Amino acid sequence: MSRLDEQTLQTLLGSSVVQLLKILDPKLATPSQLGQILASLYSPESLLLREEFRCELIDLLRPEQAKILATILGLTDTSDIFQSLRTVKIRRKSDQERALLDFFEISIPEPEYIPEVPQPESLIPSYPLFCHQRRVSQEVQQHLTLEPKRVLLHMPTGSGKTRTAMNIIADHLRSLEPTLVVWLAYSEELCEQAANEFQQAWQHLGNREVLIYRFWGNYELDIDQAQDGIVVAGLSKVYSKAKGSIRFINRLGSRSSLVVIDEAHQAIAETYRLVLDALVVPYDNTGLLGLTATPGRTWADINADAELANFFAQRKVTLEIPGYDSPVDYLVEEGYLARANYRSLMYESGLSLTDRDRQRIQNELELPQHLLDRLAEDEQRNLCILLEIEDLALRHQRIIVFGISVQHAKLLAVVLRARGLIADAVTGDTPSRERERLISSFKDNSPEPKVLCNYGVLTTGFDAPRTSAAVIARPTKSLVLYSQMVGRAIRGVRAGGNETAEIITVVDSDLPGFDSVSAAFTNWEDVWRQNDDE
């Protein structure tokens, strides 16, 4: 690596990174400094196993070294040894991978085996619920026995909504055999989280062997084979399949006894409602359970919110605690949630939204990609974010950053590294082994501050209790997404987290944003109470 020239280093690190470093401190952008940054960002194993890095390193070998490596890897084409080495495909865990690492004298440490110490003196459940979770679970199950068997479970972000729902589903599957539970979610990320969570729950709560049927993205479902277990499905995929085959939706509905819709504020959108009605309405014994931290669709359209309340027959089970105006206050006071300090980082973005942009934001709750790209490339905005993260690192040991894009997350991590912080980026492009290593490092017990920049992979299903600060640099009008991002940093002491947390939201001029999850929790209460009174 000492032979890498400045141009190659700039290619590997990214020109945007080098440009920011030159602005902050030109001394950080010298070839020797850039080489140190690259070496600190990636393990030797990662540098060799990532094709784009390996090709650069191969070119720097001496001819005699290249010949030896080609022989070790079993390459037969010796007409152009360097070209053969650049194009060889190294499969993970293959003999060639081992030979490559051995050539460079790199060893992969085996994970330390720490045997679990049994504690027969206590009966600790493996998939428990807290007292407040057990109460709402019992209430939901009572509603599902009464016509019209529809109910919305309303629990704030970080209070264990998914775990509570999985206990309800496990009880339901144990009471009926065979039967299907259908879990519907609007994104592949939420589908994967649900499938993993059910797998964990049923291993502890199940009474028989059942199947998890995945039906989203590239997964397909043979409806004739689906008999007993849970179908985790993407709403758009079910809708598309139903349009092409009435038989499919009829078969799925006739074999199901409970339909669960995650992020249920989406339920009355035309596409989703058609699916739910097709699965539930024709079958008297099928229950419908909605899950949400936000029992409304908008901030201001009371008609849409009332429609959602009517769709669930005005039946909403809310985490209510006697003596508290909001359950969030109770969860904070009891230590289940951290006491969060919400701050806004104001930035004049200078974006000009067209009427079409505004309409798209209203309908899709997300910004158009061309606007996000402009924000991600805004040097002044990035400098503000970087300085804010460095300030947080003076008070927090674990900080999670939500970037605008894959490149934006990587950009922030690399510059923070160059500035002396332990920072890494995790995105959908990160290889699974590398992702596990980076997340494991972030979750360890070392005392030094660590920053994990990510895009699109850590909003749900990510459990790092020591995280006590979040920087939301990704603008969104989706309260659900915002709540999920905040939820990564507000786990309380009783849930293995922290007493306090800081949430920094980058607020771009003229773009949507939110203030706190606590205020959002009670935003729609008047709509449901109005319907209850009627």
Same domain membership, residue 313 and residue 412:
no
d(CA 465, CA 499): 11
Same domain membership, residue 470 and residue 375:
yes
**Residue 286 domain flag:** yes
Q: Quickly list DSSP for 207-273.
A: SS--EEEEESTT----TTT--SEEEEEEHHHHHHHHHH-HHHHHHHHHHEEEEEESSGGGTTSHHHH
As to burial, measured by CB atoms within 10 angstroms (0-12 exposed, 13-18 middle, 19+ buried), residue 68 is: middle
**Residue 332 domain flag:** no
Same domain membership, residue 145 and residue 38:
no
Q: Are 468 and 338 in contact (CB under 8 A)?
A: yes
CB hemisphere CA count around 228 (13 angstroms) = 11
**Residue 176 domain flag:** yes
**Residue 118 domain flag:** no
Tell me the β-bridge partners of 423. 451
Q: Which residue has the tokens 């390996």?
A: 54
Same domain membership, residue 344 and residue 315:
no
pLDDT score for 93: 81
Q: Quickly list DSSP for 294-361.
A: S-SS-SS-HHHHHHHHHHTTT-EEE---TT-SSHHHHHHHTTSB-EEEEEEEEE-------HHHHHHH
CATH number of 148's domain: 3.40.50.300
d(CA 278, CA 286): 11
Task: Give the domain extent around 295.
Answer: 131-320
Task: Give the three-class secondary structure for 180.
Answer: strand
**Residue 112 domain flag:** no
Task: Give the three-class secondary structure for 479.
Answer: helix
Instruction: Give the mean pLDDT of the chain.
Output: 84
d(CA 306, CA 235): 22
Same domain membership, residue 258 and residue 221:
yes
Q: Which long-range contacts (CB under 8 A, 24 or more apart) does 495-499 make?
A: 495/158, 495/335, 495/336, 495/337, 495/465, 496/465, 497/338, 497/465, 497/466, 497/467, 497/468, 498/338, 498/465, 498/466, 498/467, 498/468, 499/335, 499/338, 499/339
pLDDT score for 104: 86
Torsion of CA 483, 489, 492, 498, to 10 degrees: -160
Q: Are 300 and 161 in contact (CB under 8 A)?
A: no
**Residue 282 domain flag:** yes
Same domain membership, residue 391 and residue 293:
no
**Residue 328 domain flag:** no
Number of domains in the chain: 3
**Residue 110 domain flag:** no
Same domain membership, residue 31 and residue 152:
no
CB-CB neighbours of 237 under 10 Å = 20
Please say which residue of 293, 320, 347 terminates a domain: 320
Q: What residues contact 187, with CB distance under 8 A and at least 6 apart?
A: 234
pLDDT score for 256: 96
Same domain membership, residue 218 and residue 309:
yes
d(CA 173, CA 141): 12
Same domain membership, residue 288 and residue 155:
yes
pTM assigned to the model: 0.63
Same domain membership, residue 242 and residue 274:
yes
Same domain membership, residue 279 and residue 190:
yes
pLDDT score for 299: 41
Which tens digits make up the pLDDT trace of 201-255? 999 999 999 999 999 988 999 999 999 999 999 988 999 998 888 899 999 999 9
Q: Are 280 and 286 in contact (CB under 8 A)?
A: yes
Phi, psi torsion values for 110, nearest 5 degrees: -75, 140
Same domain membership, residue 52 and residue 147:
no
pLDDT means per 10 residues, the chain with 534 residues, are 81 86 88 86 83 84 87 84 86 85 79 71 83 92 93 83 94 96 86 91 95 93 93 92 89 95 79 86 93 61 66 86 81 88 83 64 61 85 94 96 93 94 91 86 93 82 83 79 82 88 85 53 46 44
Q: What residues contact 512, with CB distance under 8 A and at least 6 apart?
A: 361, 475, 476, 477
Q: What residues contact 500, with CB distance under 8 A and at least 6 apart?
A: 338, 339, 340, 341, 468
